Amino acid sequence: MSRLVMKFGGTSVANIERIRNVARHVERERAAGHDIAVVVSAMAGKTNELVGWCKEASELFDQREYDAVVASGEQVTSGLLALVLQQRGVAARSWQGWQIPILTSGTHGSARIESIDGSAILEGFEARKEVAVIAGFQGLHQKTRRIATLGRGGSDTSAVALAAALGAERCDIYTDVDGVYTTDPRVVPKARRLDRIAFEEMLEMASLGAKVLQVRSVELAMVHKVKTFVRSSFDDPADPRPGTLICGEEDILEQPVVTGIAFSKDEALITLRRVADRPGMAAAIFMPLAEADINVDMIIQVASEDAVATDITFTVPAAELERAEKILHKAQPHIGFASLNGASDVVKISAIGIGMRSHAGVAARAFKALAEKGINIRAITTSEIKFSVLIEAAYTELAVRTLHALYGLDKA
């Protein structure tokens, strides 16, 4: 029989009634003749609560214990869905990451899946006609032999990795929207649902802030060519819509210049004033940050007027602002800047589209449109299929809506 992976996010399993609704979706696919592995997230809000408890318990928490705590949300929902399915007469068994096992590497709290042994699940399909209900977001760390979690939103990655490991025909990611939109539909009501989006575009959208899929899940789908759909769990289980297919660009007929707009508030801006204008300065600033694993994204260096000192501005993840400031102050005698200014009231707005490869002036149009709205751009980056601007956070909605309309993405 063909195999299917179905993943349900937090709002889709937020209470027992919704879990019953999930069971109805599972039953439909089973009736259609699939063997099914279901991946579940924790109930909506649960992971945030668990993370909050860790922070309350200990300021500098041990990542292994953090994982022990935050992985528990998915343990609960996997057991509950198995119970609900059994109650409805469907053979089902729950699986934690360590039981399969899903082996992981890397750091606790943001581990990477290394391998999945699908044999126990396949045996359940064959010998017992059993639906496998798998706790998302977690695995067994191959070095520490402890529970490890995959980073926020990691159940998407559990699902796609399982689909690849089980040779599934499809991976359906059920969520609280009916597909991938041209931008976050909660921010722009005129956003349109896309029937298809290319892997590369989805990868950029996710990396640049669209939380609908975890970045790593898109990478895995692309590498392993997993046919992945994003669709709604709130559709009638008897008559659901297909949602959005994430696919190769060769499978998309009409390619607009800009496919989507993403935004991320997870940015902070650091400006160093009057840094000595001589060789080796950039290294003196950015090496200590790199050694501390702090990701620097946009960088602007102003050409100095006097050839003596210059200003350097760059962005780091908002969560790392304090740490970055400390490191730079420590290195101040070596770098020799006059002042350091940190700001986290900024947002990065990005436009993404494969069509940009073959069109010039796409970003320039955005600069003009934003200027007309009185929005000041503080930093810019561009690459082959996207460009990003950093602006004041207060203008987020206005800027996203402006660019969305500018590139003809608004619903008719």
Q: Give residues in contact with ligand ASP (CB under 6 A).
A: 9-10, 41-42, 47, 73, 136-137, 152-156
Least distance (Å) between residue 44 CB and ligand ASP: 9
Q: Which CB sits closer to Mg ion, 9 or 185?
A: 9
Rounded distance, CA 192 to CA 207, Å? Answer: 20
Count of CB atoms within 10 A of residue 150's CB?
Answer: 29
Residue 181 binds what, of ligand ASP, Mg ion, ligand ADP, none (CB under 5 to 8 Å, by partner type)?
Answer: ligand ADP
Residue 176 binds what, of Mg ion, ligand ASP, ligand ADP, none (CB under 5 to 8 Å, by partner type)?
Answer: ligand ADP
Helix (H) or strand (E) holding 272: strand 260-276
Q: Which CB sits closer to ligand ADP, 65 or 410?
A: 410
| Residue 104 touching ligand ADP (CB under 6 A) | no
Least distance (Å) between residue 168 CB and ligand ASP: 18
Work out whether the CA dihedral 81, 83, 85, 91 comes out positive or negative.
positive
Q: For ligand ADP, what does the binding mask look like between residues 212 and 231, x meaning CB under 6 A?
A: x-------------------
Rounded distance, CA 233 to CA 20, Å? Answer: 11
Helix, strand, or coil (residue 15): coil
Q: For ligand ADP, what does the binding mask look like between residues 184 and 203, x meaning CB under 6 A?
A: xxx-----------------
Rounded distance, CA 296 to CA 195, Å? Answer: 34
- Which residue is closest to ligand ADP by CB? 9
Q: For ligand ADP, what does the binding mask look like between residues 240 and 269, x meaning CB under 6 A?
A: --------------------x---------
Least distance (Å) between residue 174 CB and ligand ASP: 12
Rounded distance, CA 409 to CA 181, Å? Answer: 10
| Interacting residue with ligand ADP among 164, 177, 188, 379 (CB under 6 A) | 177
DSSP-assigned beta bridge partners for residue 339: 273
| Residue 181 touching ligand ADP (CB under 6 A) | yes
Q: Which CB sits closer to ligand ASP, 73 or 179?
A: 73
Count of positions on this chain that bind ligand ADP (CB under 6 A): 20
Count of positions on this chain that bind Mg ion (CB under 5 A): 2
* Burial of 285 per CB tally in 10 Å (0-12, 13-18, 19+): buried
Least distance (Å) between residue 398 CB and ligand ADP: 17
Phi/psi-derived region of residue 400, left when phi > 0, alpha when psi is between -120 and 50, beta in every other case: alpha
Least distance (Å) between residue 81 CB and ligand ASP: 14
| Residue 153 touching Mg ion (CB under 5 A) | yes
Let me know how many helices (H) and strands (E) the chain has, helices first: 13, 18
Residue 47 binds what, of ligand ADP, Mg ion, ligand ASP, none (CB under 5 to 8 Å, by partner type)?
Answer: ligand ASP
Q: Restricting to residues 20-39, which ones interact with Mg ion according to CB under 5 A?
A: none
Rounded distance, CA 163 to CA 227, Å? Answer: 9
| Residue 240 touching Mg ion (CB under 5 A) | no
Count of CB atoms within 10 A of residue 179's CB?
Answer: 23
Rounded distance, CA 110 to CA 151, Å? Answer: 4
Exposure string for 63-94, b = 16+ CB within 10 A, e = fewer: beebbbbbbbbbbbbbbbbbbbbeeeebebbb
Least distance (Å) between residue 256 CB and ligand ASP: 29
Rounded distance, CA 78 to CA 95, Å? Answer: 7
| Residue 136 touching ligand ADP (CB under 6 A) | no
Residue 402 binds what, of Mg ion, ligand ASP, ligand ADP, none (CB under 5 to 8 Å, by partner type)?
Answer: none
| Interacting residue with ligand ADP among 26, 140, 210, 379 (CB under 6 A) | 210
Centroid of chain to Cα 7: 15
Rounded distance, CA 248 to CA 240, Å? Answer: 24
Contacting residues toward Mg ion, per CB under 5 A: 9, 153
Contacting residues toward ligand ADP, per CB under 6 A: 9-12, 41, 153, 175-177, 180-181, 183-186, 205, 210-212, 260
